[in-house]
Structure 1
Amino acid sequence: MDGLLSALAASEAATALRFSRWSYAAANTAHVLGVAVLVGGILPLDLRLLGLWPRVEAGGLVRVLVPMAAAGLGLAVISGFLLFVVRPLDYAGNTAFLTKIGLISVGAASALSAHAVWGRWLERAGGSVRARVGAVSMLCWIGALIAGRMIAFTGD
């Protein structure tokens, strides 16, 4: 694994990001924007699952917010990878980073299963089932956001 991480650190992309004044800043800004769009799309859906806005038709929220959250996740993953290659050996051993990746994995799997597997069933499911799905999602995404911010304050 160290060989792969070292190769990433030595890549042209990593070198460009490390030594360019603006490329790292652009990747960092793209990452923040991606996270904002992701969390901004997910949290209203989670709150709806928790019972907020019961008169608002869930299908309309899903049609608007799911593509928005997916686009945010895509931007955050791509830009996050660019940030990762700058110091992959450091990040691979950072507990906050590993926590963030774990929470993102659980949050993404939860979202995929909620939309692909459960589909309309989730909308018809009991309030406690919807609330659990919403609570898990909120904990994952807010936890990933906090863990991501803590990366700067942990490690070397």
Structure 2
Amino acid sequence: MLTALLLGLGDTALASALRQSEIGYPLVASAHILGLGLLVGSIVTLDLRILNLIKRGTLSELAPLLSRVAAGGFMLAILTGGLLFSVQPAHYLGNSAFLLKLSLISLALINVMVVHCLPSWRTMLAGQPATLLLKLTAFISLTLWLATITAGRWIAFV
């Protein structure tokens, strides 16, 4: 039933308009890349700061700002990704790289939820140094988000 619903997205007027437009699809694809840049750029910066590979800026100042930028980038990427998906849903549902990308995003979002529930996240926001556990989650985050970008690039080649 979910597959039928997802495949039905390809029959919507918006998906049809995107397929027929010379400018619509490229604009949506560009906005998707912008969302990914905001998302991954801010996450990589925050994770590298948590890992102390970047020394500038305090975590208590950077973490809230970079988290909000990442959330905004994620929302833009999800919105535009859904539109891009609607243009060829059968192709994407049969594409192993796309399915891997969705799995990696799911794992990365679970990691984000875990991090934000940790007491050490709150103490870091209050000015304390990042704990070993936070550093581990930052490493996991880096790995998952960079793997997500890689899987996304593979979609065109699978």
Q: What is the TM-score when the length of structure 1 is the normalising length?
A: 0.89
| Separation (CA, whole Å) in 1 of partners of 2:10 and 2:25 | 14
Instruction: Give the equivalent residue in structure 2 for 1:120.
Output: 122
Find runs of 4+ consecutive structure 1 residues off by over 4 angstroms: 121-127
Is 1:133 aligned with 2:137? yes
Q: Is the 8 A contact 1:9 1:85 kept in 2?
A: yes
Query: Gaps spanning 5+ residues in structure 1: where?
Result: none
Q: Is the 8 A contact 1:6 1:88 kept in 2?
A: yes
Is 1:40 aligned with 2:44? no
Instruction: Give the equivalent residue in structure 1 for 2:100.
Output: 99
Query: Gaps spanning 5+ residues in structure 2: where?
Result: none
Q: Is the 8 A contact 1:48 1:58 kept in 2?
A: yes
Q: Is the 8 A contact 1:17 1:23 kept in 2?
A: yes
Kindly provide the amino acid, as one letter, of the partner of residue 33 in structure 1: L
Kindly provide the amino acid, as one letter, of the partner of residue 38 in structure 1: L
Instruction: Give the equivalent residue in structure 1 for 2:5.
Output: 4
Aligned residues: 154
- C-alpha distance after superposition, 1:59-104 (max 9, x if no partner): 1111221111110000000000000011111111211001111111
RMSD of Structure 2 on Structure 1 (CA): 1.9
Kindly provide the amino acid, as one letter, of the partner of residue 17 in structure 2: A
Identity of aligned residues (%): 37
